[in-house]
Amino acid sequence: MSLVTVFNTRVLPVVVLDDADLALPLAEALLEGGIDAMEITLRHACALDAIAKVRAGLEGMCVGAGTLTRPEDFSRVAAAGARFAVSPGLTPALAAAARASALPFIPGVMTPSEVIAAQEQGYSLLKLFPAGQVGGLAMLKALASPFAGVRFCPTGGVSAETLKLFLQQTNVAMVGGSWLTPADAIKSRDWKRVARLAREASDIAAGSA
């Protein structure tokens, strides 16, 4: 299944939560701002519950799981209701688990050799991570010619200020980032701020189409 058929946004919030009860209002704020997908990372024990709450409570939001690093993570996030999965890397075991789960999957890469390895596993949409540390825009431009059939979701080091430049790259399908859901805004339940940040990013994405 292509992620193109799963959600529309070109800006994917990377969400870290330590309280599952905050997941649904956060998702509602993102959707209000025009973003219809979110990646909830498996960095805290509540992540699976958070995914389940969004899947059950907000039909218009496509909730996925991030930071999958073990093969068994795929069955866990699928059971919670995740509609796609993202990893910071890729191993043969992860690729096999992804195929068995049938979840749309974005594996992570940071070198040309890793891009080739991902292509060998059948993947053409890849997470460039950590994008800022591996060269950012310059790296994406360098990868464009030798990997003409590959598109990327750069994540790590992307900000509201650089979003437009990343989205204008021909080999960028979408951009991932945590600036859309700041930890202090989540902690203070400032959903208006989250909705504003989402709207600003949505408007930039629409202007970069």
Residue 164 a catalytic site member: no
Six token digits for residue 90: 């890729």
Q: What pTM, to 2 d.p., does this model score?
A: 0.96
Given a contact cutoff of 8 angstroms between Cβ atoms, the answer to whether 168 and 208 are in contact is yes
Domain 3-203 has CATH 3.30.300.170: no
- Classify residue 143 by its DSSP letter: H
User: Is 59 considered catalytic here?
Assistant: no
Measure the CA–CA gap between 17 and 97, rounded to whole angstroms: 25
**AA identity, residue 204:** I
What is the residue type of 199?
A: R
10-residue averages of pLDDT along the chain (209 residues): 72 98 98 98 97 98 98 98 98 96 96 98 97 97 97 96 97 97 98 98 91
Given a contact cutoff of 8 angstroms between Cβ atoms, the answer to whether 84 and 113 are in contact is: no
Instruction: Spot the catalytic one: 127, 164, 192, 200.
Output: 127
User: Choosing from 32, 39, 141, 187, which is the catalytic residue?
Assistant: 39
Cα(153)–Cα(106) distance, rounded to whole angstroms? Answer: 8
Give the pLDDT score at 208.
82
Residue spans of the domains in the chain: they are 3-203
